[in-house]
Structure 1
Amino acid sequence: MKILLCGSNGQLGCDCIRVFEKEHKVMPFDLPEMDITDKQNVADLMQKTSPDLVINCAAYTQVDKCETNGDAAWAVNVEGAANLAEECRKLGALLFHVSTDYVFDGTKEPPLSYSETDPVNPLSVYGKTKLEGEKRIAEITEHHIIVRTAWLYGIGGQNFLKTMLRVALSDPERTIKVVNDQFGSPTWTLRLALQMERLIKIQGQGIYHATSEGYCSWYELAINFLKLMEVPFNIVPCATSEYPTPARRPANSILENVRLKRSDNNKMTGWRHGLEQFVSRYRQELLDEFTK
């Protein structure tokens, strides 16, 4: 299978390459070679490469900046997704699109979670653009898979775990405040890429949720990660209200992988297990990234 991968330089894109290149021809693209907001660029590139599958990991994910750069977020998350869907429809290719927990308002009390059929109600510009991107894809082509995921981390790109490690290593005595009233399921991008591979093999269709099993707060995640990394740290819990941000975030980002479980195709593991595997594999590489 020929796979065109958009957003190949990001953390999920990097792990998609690792997973899919074993059995398929992966054609990775990112800016500036591929700009999904440029309809002609997308058309030219897809006609040239003629993929069987397009995986879209490209997104405008700077949640707070979306509030002031709504046009840029719309261009990538909505028009970009629509451009890919249109060309996939013309070529008869499958579009695999990555979406987010931010399509929900997060008002449920943990441990209650969100399934694929729960009403959506995004709180932020980012969430609204990602939801509109989902809708546009569904309107344009039936041949699509949309995976909503959350709290991603991986060895590529930047993420919450790397930020915690960088701060802890730069000044172990510094007090780091981390919110303990937002909850979600930390998800390793490699595990998600493997789940995506499974969905393609079973010819999945429509919207799926795919996150690790179980949940925690950002505070719990930071503590568990830095303990596994065996580095000194000084982390204390705080409330979201102590750090107001331009974009409202869902307090509950716990997604339930209902469709995967019902079809006996859920390959996601517990978040602690995934975190332990991640650190076991990449501990030295992570330390080297911030100490050399």
Structure 2
Amino acid sequence: MKILITGSRGQLGHDVVNVLEADHHLLSLDLPELDITDFKSLKNVIGEFRPDVVINCAAYTQVDTCETQKELAHAVNAIGPDNLSRCLADHGGRFIHISTDYVFNGKKPIPEIYIEKDPTHPVSVYGETKLSGEQSIQQNLNNYVILRTSWLYGINGGNFLKTILRLSMKDSNPVIRVVDDQYGSPTWSYRLAKQIAAILDSDANGIYHATAEGYCTWFELAKAFLSQMGINKEIVACTTPEYPTAAKRPMNSILENFRLKSEKTNEMIDWKQDLNKFVSLHRDQLIKEAVQ
């Protein structure tokens, strides 16, 4: 299968390439070789390569910065998917696009879950732009899969776990404060890449949720991670109002993989199992990066 992967050097894109490269003919591109906000450039690439599938891992994911960089966030998260889906509408092919839990407002009481058909209502610029991208794809194409995931972490690029580790290894940070009232499902980018591989072999179509099983708070995640890393650092739980950020976050980001399970294509497992595997595979590299 000929597959174009955009954002191939990002956290998820890196793992998608690693998972798929043995079995498929890949064209893996990222900035500066390919800018998904440039329709003409995209059209040329897709016209020449003629992929069977495009997997869009490109996104502007700096949630707080999106509040002040609205045009950039809109260009990458909304216009980019619109451009890609328009190109595929002309050339043919399947589109797999990565979206987010931030399309929901998170107002459901814990532990209620969000399924694919629940009404969307983003509370941040990031969420708004990602939802706009989803809507464009649905308007432009019939042959698409939109995968909403949450709390993504991996070995490539920056993420919450790497930030916590870096802070924990600095003597200038005697105590780390982490919010304990936002809930979600920490999802390993490698596991999500395996889920994408399974979707390629299925007839999946439409919107799907794809997150790890189970849920926790950011505080619980930080404690579990540092414990598995063998690092003894004091972490103090705080509330969202005690840790203000530029962008509002959903308090409940618990997504249920309802459609993947009902169609028997769910590859996602418990977040604690994946976190343990992630640490066992990458502990040395994580430590090395944290002390640089």
Contact 1:64 1:245 in 2 (8 A): yes
* Counterpart residue number, 1:253: 253
* Alpha-carbon distance in structure 2 between the residues aligned to 1:247 and 1:154: 23
Which residue of structure 2 lines up, in the alignment, with residue 88 of structure 1? 88
**2:263 pairs with 1:269:** no
1:160-187 Cα offsets, whole Å, 9 max, x none, are 0000111111228620000000000000
**Residues 228 and 279, structure 2, Cα contact 8 Å, conserved in 1:** yes
Residues 145 and 207, structure 2, Cα contact 8 Å, conserved in 1: yes
Alignment partners' CA distance in 2, 1:178 and 1:25: 43
CA distance in 2, matches of 1:229, 1:96: 34
**Corresponding residue SS for 1:68:** coil
TM-score by length of 1: 0.98
Q: Distance in 2 between matches of 1:233 and 1:267?
A: 33
Distance 1:23 1:101 in 2: 30
Partner of 1:230: 230
Unaligned runs of 5+ in 2: none
Structure 2 length as normaliser, TM-score?
0.98
Q: Higher mean Cα deviation, 239-248 or 172-181?
A: 172-181
How many percent identity over aligned positions?
51
Is residue 104 of structure 2 the alignment partner of residue 112 of structure 1? no
Structure-2 separation of matches of 1:86 and 1:23: 27
> What is the aligned partner in structure 1 of residue 133 from structure 2?
133
> 3-state SS of the aligned residue for 2:253?
coil
Q: Distance in 2 between matches of 1:287 and 1:77?
A: 32
Q: What are the Cα deviations for residues 244-274 of structure 1, in whole angstroms up to 9, with x where unaligned?
A: 2221110000000000111121111001001
Deviation sequence 1:168-222 (CA, Å, 0-9, x none): 1122862000000000000000001111111111121000000000000000000
How many residues of Structure 1 are paired with residues of Structure 2 in the alignment? 292
Native 8 Å contact 2:167 2:173 kept in 1: no
The alpha carbon displacement at 1:290 in A equals 2.2
Superimposed CA distance per residue, residues 135-177 of structure 1 (whole angstroms, 9 cap, x where no aligned partner) = 1001101011000000000000100000011111122862000
Match of 2:175 in 1: 175
Where does residue 142 of structure 1 map in the other structure?
Answer: 142
Amino acid across the alignment from 2:168: A
- Aligned pairs for 1:1-292 within 5 A: 1-171=1-171, 174-292=174-292
Amino acid at match of 1:104: F
Post-superposition CA distance 1:66-118 (Å, at most 9, x none): 11221111111111101100111112111100000000000011111100011
Distance in 1 separating the partners of 2:134 and 2:173: 44
CA-CA distance at 1:232 after TM superposition: 2.4
Name whichever of 20-29 and 155-164 sits farther off: 20-29
Q: Give the counterpart letter for 1:147 in structure 2.
A: L
* Residue identity matched to 2:94: L
Q: Contact between 2:212 and 2:271, CA under 8 Å: does it hold in 1?
A: yes
Give the gaps of 5 or more residues in structure 1.
none
In the TM superposition, structure 1's runs of 4+ consecutive aligned residues that sit over 3 Å from their partners are none
What is the root-mean-square deviation in Å for CA atoms of aligned residues?
1.1
Q: How much does 1:56 deviate?
A: 0.3
Q: What is the DSSP-based 3-state SS (H/G/I as helix, E as strand, rest coil) of the residue aligned with 1:17?
A: helix
SS at match of 1:242: coil
User: Secondary structure of the residue that 1:4 maps to in structure 2?
Assistant: strand
How far the C-alpha of 1:63 sits from its partner, in A, is 1.1
What is the CA–CA distance in structure 2 between the aligned matches of 1:88 and 1:95, rounded to whole Å? 8
Contact 1:173 1:233 in 2 (8 A): no
